[in-house]
Copies of this chain bind each other. A is one copy, B any other.
Amino acid sequence: MSDRQPPRPTDSELAILGVLWERGPSTVREVHEQLNKDGATGYTTVLKLLQIMTEKGLVVRDESERAHVYESRYGEQKTQRQLLTDLAERAFGGSATKLVMQALSGRKANAAELNAIRELLDTLEGESR
């Protein structure tokens, strides 16, 4: 039991992970510049966050160069599924199906999106057979 379940990332951490998923392995400077296209966060703030995220095991750090290179430890989809499982647990009595149905009825999707979901359902049903 060397390392444990990854902790749920906070909002700021998720913003940083988003950049890492989009750009791939990046330095603090690169993450900071990408992030500052929207809101303003100081350079050292991003650095500190990344240091903490390293301690938590959310990212891995390559220190071989002067400017350390950070990379998300878990893939985007894996993290998304983890977040969904968490939310289902906390707010939907553990039922992912209830979550899906609430997400669907809560908004208008266009025909293309609905079709994509339908195709996915077909695939899933085929697999379980």
A106 touches B124 (CB 8 A): no
B96 touches A80 (CB 8 A): no
Report whether over half of chain A's contact residues are helix, strand or loop; otherwise say mixed: helix
Interface size class of A (residues with CB under 8 A): 35 or more
A101 touches B120 (CB 8 A): yes
A125 within 8 A of B: yes
Rounded to whole angstroms, the CA-CA distance of A77 and B99 in the bound complex is 10
Q: Which of B15, B90, B102 contacts A14 (CB 8 A)?
A: B90
Report the stretch among A41-49, A51-59, A81-89 that lies at the interface: A81-89
Q: Tell me the A residues contacting B by CB distance below 8 Å.
A: 11, 14-15, 18, 77, 79-81, 83-85, 87-88, 90-93, 96-97, 99-111, 113-114, 116-118, 120-121, 124-125, 128
List 5 other contacts, CB 8 Å, given A81-B102, A97-B109, A97-B117.
A14-B90, A80-B91, A81-B103, A96-B107, A101-B117
